[in-house]
Amino acid sequence: MAERFRVALSGDFRKADGTPTYPSFDLSPLSADPRIETKWVDAVEGAIPGAALEDCDALILLTPRFGPGSAPKSGRLALVARFGVGYDTVDLPTCDANGIALAITPDGVRRPVAVTIVTYVLALSQKLLIKDRLCRQGPEGWARRGEFMGEGLVGKTFGQLGIGNIGAEALRLLAPFGMRMIAHDPYVDEAAAKALGVELVSSEALFREADFLSVSVPLSEATRHYVNAARLATMKQTAFLINTARGPIVDQRALHDALVSGRLAGAALDVFEVEPCPSDEPILKLDNVIVTPHALCWTDECFAGNGAADIAAALAVMRGEAPRGVVNRDVLETEVFREKLARCARLFG
């Protein structure tokens, strides 16, 4: 029997009855190629077991962890394709030590997450959820609608912490609303910022001047609790915080205290320090917070884009080519990884 290129998919891409969890993730480019074989791999205690990947060339990963015990001893695995851009669930040292490229899907999430940020800006400024509740209360609620006046956006300041893939797209989408755009990102130069119509400012100025402050940076030791009590204390009392990145970037207890005390007008959170968020989490009890379960950007567009990008990465490896969106780019130059590509090119290219 001819050798097959084997692609594993984490088991959470299918339901218990075997049907797709997310039908917009089109697997037909894999199933239609007779050279490719797919298999499902379920997590064990939250992590992908390496023993299940011994005969696999690529893994498409949704929510399970890829940790030290996830690398197969065979050394065959060449790619972990993460379904999204966050990769804090993937142990990079394990990937590096085993010649495994980690690819993410910036093209798939750019627009959907940026739309999420715009949705939050509009919902917060118009007091959408508050007015929804008033309407449901009947005449008594309607009588109070004048107490909850919304705010126009023209002339307001939108602050973006991080103007990479998603942050830059959010700035482009918000441009027509007539807001002043400021951002802090030490990795972006003035020319790139100018092209986006954004003014680069210090971190201190960003927190001090923003009416809406959106967080779009990766989680790392440097960014953990970057949005802390001290920085929140410098924000306007009328300001709103938006976090669509990772929960631990924001000190959630400090944010709760700022919202309860009135030092901050409100917040919109799609991510939390602990996920799933416990039902007794204090921040869920506040009326001036919009909360969503790390899923507001989950649309057919988002999942189709992420899936297409992950499949494209796997097919590139099958052809013996380096995939797009690789995080640990140094691994691409290693002898181990290049041998894996050479094998794939010889058998399938």
Strand-pairing partners, residue 248, are none
| Strand-strand pairing, 266-269 and 79-82 | unpaired
Cis peptide before 276 (omega within 30 of 0): yes
Could you tell me the two tokens for 290? 């919009």
d(CA 262, CA 243): 19
Cβ atoms 77, 59 nearer than 8 A: yes
Q: Which of 82, 110, 184, 294 is catalytic?
A: 294
Please state, in angstroms and rounded to a whole number, the distance separating the CA atoms of residues 314 and 318: 6
By the 8 A CB rule, do 219 and 245 touch?
yes
Task: For residue 339, indicate whether it is catalytic.
Answer: no
| Spatial distance between the Cα atoms of 49 and 69, rounded to a whole number of angstroms | 6
Candidates 275, 319, 329, 339; catalytic one: 275
- Which helix H or strand E contains 194, and what residues bound it? helix 190-195
DSSP sequence for 284-316 = GG-TTEEE--S-TT-SHHHHHHHHHHHHHHHHH
> Does the active-site annotation cover 246?
yes
CA–CA dist 125, 107 (Å, integer): 28
**Token reading at 263:** 């030092």
Residue 160 to residue 166: CA distance in whole angstroms: 10
Amino acid at 327: V
Distance CA 151, CA 266 (A): 13
Closest CA to 196 of 221, 226, 216, 224: 216
Q: Considering 82, 111, 246, 256, which one is annotated as catalytic?
A: 246
Alpha-carbon torsion angle 169, 87, 232, 292, nearest 10? 70
**Residue numbers annotated as active site:** 246, 275, 294
